[in-house]
């Protein structure tokens, strides 16, 4: 009886347990059916997400162009190749969508990726053994051009697919790098790190879109896909004040000096003094923004590196003295030494001076004593400080580039108030000096420098924003500005002048040299000593009476031979850039003894003899390449009437164009050539061309695909004859 009773109890317990479990499960199913949720997750949302494909539609980053609408920066598509190795991945009709013959795939794919077949095969086999869905091929499988992608597609290799990416491309390589800046990818988006890329990142970036649709298990779109598309909005284009031709002149001159003198630093800029527009700006060391990992100097030294300017500061000491009526050019003073206090004195740069000389000769010879007398004894330290503030040496210029720094006016002690007059102790940036000089060049009106000219919508070509000149002060009168220019003109034209190496053949120049001492942080003495251990500079404008351009150049610690002087590398840059730029801008020469103008106007060439036009252009110092074997010309890469600079490459197009040998050509020249023929070009690297996908002599036509490899040059420049001894 007890056994039966126990059995009955156990049966009841089990029955009740099953009933409880049933009720719980039924309740749970009822709850899920009613709410459509499991563990707080909506089954409908989960199902929608599982059945929905969603892709982002990246916006194209806006271009950066120069003042003449030449593209300096743009996006270009690149591709990443990957291989599907999961053998369960098939299409709707069960066709295989994975790598079937790994060895064949490796042998055919490897040459196009510049890999060894064994490495490709190892990557595929390893992915299969690890049960992975797909494999990639490292850096060799990334950043592929459209041309390489199409060559791989022509192989029709099962399982080989591509992922499109957008890469920022700088066609001119190391060209205005610190102005343009560069980008990097953060969370898949291009973000500006420096320069205009950073300053205008929000304008250039645009807004990404997306697309989503319902799919089946084979990844095919359903008949009712519920497709949602949000179009991407491309970024706006940014137009700069930079002029590509003037910037090219500057880059080439700086590169030549950099190779020959191996200085620690070079800094230069060209401005329009009537508007404040920066036409060219560059620094060395520089970098190729296409190669993010090679950047050594991130700073734009024109705006970010304060330093003791040296004698270029005497321009503003002179301006203050003239404005106050305290400058008499024919008044005499005793050069050589200025006594600050008992036991403390300053000396002229040669220590001895030149005896009793006029203040005009003092300015010409860059006398420190003359500057001290004008600033401290005549103008007075308090009033002189007001002029330093009026020229805004204590403020940023507000230039539209990131990373601007300002120097510091050292003006606490008598010695500092005196040394500031000739550019020692007090620090400024090159752009601060150029801003101040606009008041001298532009009849007293001081203009804010800027590099961004306009913003345009690329879809409508409508101007979104446009800048105009901004007068930010009037530190001196127009009469004073003219007198300062006249005095600075004698610094260049006089036999006593420290700036006589800066004379131009066709234009009068007004300016001031500088030889700044460099603080020595590794030794007890405050400044470096020894031949070449200075920062040599020149700040000038031309033509003198009505300046159209102004320019700053500095070269720090060049490697000079015993017979060379610091003005040699600086004047080489100034004269090459300033002289050629004035001719390029069609500024009328103002010197009586005019030389042959260095620019040349492109003639009408259609239907003319190839030989005649080629000879005419080469006689003007131009590099001419004839494309084709016809007798009559059909076109060129420049229009009739366009101004051409010396050594510029010209392409003459005839019938039956053939591919020239591109070896040694710059990226700029190759791009100009491809535009002339309308080729589909792909560029790799920077520097000068070393290989081309279309061989020399082969017939070419529009939209042919051309791939060109470039590498950095290692050519050594020959040293020039030693210059005459420098005055300062």
Task: Pick the more confident residue, 501 or 522.
Answer: 501
**211-225, 309-323, 400-414, 667-681: segment of lowest average pLDDT:** 211-225
Region of 636 (left: φ > 0; alpha: ψ -120 to 50; beta: rest) is beta
Average pLDDT, the chain: 85
Q: Which of 159-173, 567-581, 620-634 has the highest mean pLDDT?
A: 567-581
Phi/psi region, residue 403 (left: phi>0; alpha: psi -120 to 50; beta: rest), is left
**What pTM value is reported for the model?**
0.74
pLDDT in tens, 686-718: 556 778 888 888 888 888 888 888 764 432 222
Cis status of the peptide bond prior to 216, with omega within 30 of 0: no
E strands, 549-630, are 549-556, 600-601, 623-627
Residue 393 in this model has a pLDDT that exceeds 60? yes
Return the SS3 of 688.
Answer: strand
Topology given in CATH for the domain delimited by 244-584: Beta-lactamase (3.40.710)
Task: Give the chain's largest Cα–Cα span.
Answer: 142
Q: What is the mean pLDDT of residues 607-629?
A: 79
Confidence of residue 596 (pLDDT cuts 50, 70, 90): very low
How many Cα atoms occupy the beta-carbon half-sphere of 333 within 13 Å? 24
pLDDT band at 723 (very low <50, low <70, confident <90, very high): very low
Residue 45 predicted with pLDDT over 70 = no
Q: How many CB atoms lie within 10 A of CB 145?
A: 20
What's the confidence (pLDDT) of residue 690? Answer: 79
pLDDT tens digits, 51-80: 666 666 677 899 999 999 999 998 888 898
Q: Among 62, 60, 52, 79, which Cα is nearest to 211's?
A: 52
Q: Please, are residues 178 and 282 in contact by the beta-carbon 8 Å criterion? A: yes
The residue among 82, 94, 201 whose CA lies nearest residue 142 is: 82
Instruction: Tell me how far CA of residue 29 lies from CA of 23, 35, 247, in angstroms.
Output: 10, 10, 74
Q: How confident is the model at residue 399 (pLDDT cuts 50, 70, 90)?
A: very high
User: In the structure, how many helices (H) and strands (E) does the chain have?
Assistant: 20, 33
| pLDDT-derived band at 226, boundaries 50, 70, 90 | low
Return the domain boundaries, the chain: 2-54, 56-237, 244-584, 600-711
Average pLDDT for 178-198: 90
Class of the CATH-defined domain 600-711: alpha beta
3 state SS of 70: coil
- Report CA dihedral (716, 720, 725, 728) to the nearest 10 degrees: -50
Residue pLDDT, tens place only, 539-564: 999 999 999 999 999 999 999 887 78
Q: Give 5: exposed, middle or buried? Use CB within 10 Å, 0-12, 13-18, 19+.
A: exposed
| Mean pLDDT of the region 274-281 | 98
* Active site members: 311
What angle do the packed helices 117-129 and 102-113 form, to 10 degrees?
A: 130
Length of the chain: 728
Weakest mean pLDDT among 107-116, 173-182, 344-353, 609-618: 609-618
Confidence class of residue 299 from pLDDT cuts 50, 70 and 90?
confident
Asked if pLDDT for residue 217 goes beyond 60, the answer is no
**Whole-number pLDDT of residue 53:** 60
Q: What is the CA radius of gyration of the chain?
A: 35
What is the pLDDT, as a whole number, of residue 251?
96
56-237 maps to CATH 3.40.50.300: no
Q: Which token pair is 301? A: 């030294």
Instruction: Compute the average pLDDT of residues 111-123.
Output: 91
Q: pLDDT tens digits for 130-157?
A: 888 888 998 888 888 888 989 999 988 9
Q: Are strands 623-627 and 332-334 parallel, antiparallel or unpaired?
A: unpaired
Mean pLDDT, residues 308-318 taken together: 96
Contacts (Cβ under 8 Å, ≥6 apart) of 75:
60, 61, 63, 166, 167, 168, 169
């Amino acid at each position: 009886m007890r056994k039966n009773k126990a059995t009955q109890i156990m049966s009841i317990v089990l029955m009740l347990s099953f009933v409880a479990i049933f009720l719980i499960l039924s309740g749970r199913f009822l709850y899920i059916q009613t709410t459509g949720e499991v563990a707080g997750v909506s089954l409908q949302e989960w199902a929608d997400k599982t059945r929905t494909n969603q892709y982002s539609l990246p916006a194209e980053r806006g271009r950066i162009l120069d003042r003449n609408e030449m593209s300096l920066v743009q996006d270009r598509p690149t591709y990443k190749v990957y291989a599907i190795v999961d053998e369960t991945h098939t299409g709707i009709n069960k066709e295989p969508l994975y790598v079937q013959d790994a060895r064949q795939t490796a042998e055919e794919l490897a040459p196009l990726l510049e890999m060894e077949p064994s490495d490709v095969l190892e990557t595929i086999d390893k992915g299969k053994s690890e049960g992975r869905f797909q494999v990639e091929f490292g850096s060799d499988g990334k950043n592929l051009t459209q041309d390489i992608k199409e060559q791989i597609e022509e192989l029709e290799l099962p399982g080989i697919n591509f992922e499109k990416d957008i890469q920022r491309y700088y066609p001119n390589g190391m060209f205005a790098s610190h102005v343009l800046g560069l980008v990097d990818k953060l969370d898949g988006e291009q973000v500006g790190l420096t320069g205009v890329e950073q300053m205008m990142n929000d304008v250039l970036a645009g807004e990404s879109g997306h697309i989503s649709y319902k799919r089946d298990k084979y990844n095919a779109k359903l008949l009712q896909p519920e497709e949602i598309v949000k179009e991407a909005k491309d970024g706006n284009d940014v137009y700069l004040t930079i002029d590509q031709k003037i910037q090219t002149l500057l880059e080439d001159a700086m590169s030549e000096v950099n190779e020959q003198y191996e200085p620690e630093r070079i800094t230069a800029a060209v401005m329009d003094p009537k508007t404040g527009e920066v036409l060219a700006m560059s620094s060395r060391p520089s970098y190729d923004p296409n190669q993010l990992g090679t950047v050594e100097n991130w700073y734009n030294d024109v705006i970010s590196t304060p330093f003791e300017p040296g004698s270029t500061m005497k321009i503003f000491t002179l301006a203050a003295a003239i404005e106050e009526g305290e400058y008499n050019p024919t008044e005499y003073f005793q050069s050589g030494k200025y006594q600050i206090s008992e036991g403390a004195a300053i000396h002229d740069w040669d220590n001895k001076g030149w005896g009793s000389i006029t203040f005009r000769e003092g300015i010409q010879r860059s006398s420190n004593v003359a500057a001290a007398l004008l600033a401290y004894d005549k103008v007075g330290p308090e009033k002189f400080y007001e002029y330093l503030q009026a020229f805004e040496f204590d403020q940023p210029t507000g230039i539209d580039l990131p990373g601007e720094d300002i120097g510091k006016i050292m003006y606490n002690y008598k010695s500092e108030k005196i040394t500031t007059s000739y550019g020692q102790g007090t620090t400024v940036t090159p752009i601060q000096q150029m801003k101040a000089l606009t008041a001298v060049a532009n009849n007293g009106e001081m203009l804010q420098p800027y590099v961004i000219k306009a913003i345009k919508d690329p879809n409508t070509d409508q101007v979104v924003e446009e800048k105009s000149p901004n007068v930010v002060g009037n530190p001196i009168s127009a009469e004073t500005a003219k007198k300062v220019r006249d005095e600075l003109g004698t610094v260049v034209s006089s036999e006593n002048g420290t700036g006589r190496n800066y004379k131009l053949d066709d234009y009068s120049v007004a300016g001031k040299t500088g030889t700044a001492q460099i603080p020595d942080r590794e030794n007890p003495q405050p400044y470096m000593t020894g031949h070449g251990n200075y920062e040599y500079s020149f700040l000038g404008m031309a033509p003198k009476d009505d300046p159209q351009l102004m320019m700053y150049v500095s070269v720090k610690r060049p490697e000079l031979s015993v017979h060379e002087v610091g003005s040699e590398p600086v004047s080489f840059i100034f004269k090459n850039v300033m002289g050629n730029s004035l001719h390029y801008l069609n500024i009328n020469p103002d010197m009586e003894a005019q030389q042959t103008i260095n620019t040349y106007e492109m003639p009408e060439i259609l239907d003319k003899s190839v030989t005649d036009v080629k000879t005419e252009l080469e006689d003007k110092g131009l590099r001419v390449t004839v494309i084709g074997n016809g007798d009559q010309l059909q076109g060129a890469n420049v229009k009739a009437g366009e101004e051409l600079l010396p050594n510029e490459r010209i392409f003459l197009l005839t019938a039956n164009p053939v591919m020239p040998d591109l070896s040694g050509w710059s990226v700029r020249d190759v791009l100009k050539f491809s535009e002339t023929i309308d080729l589909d070009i792909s560029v790799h690297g920077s520097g000068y061309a070393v290989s081309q996908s279309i061989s020399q002599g082969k017939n070419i036509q529009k939209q042919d695909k051309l791939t060109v490899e470039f590498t950095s040059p290692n050519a050594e420049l020959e040293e020039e004859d030693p210059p005459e001894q420098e005055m300062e």
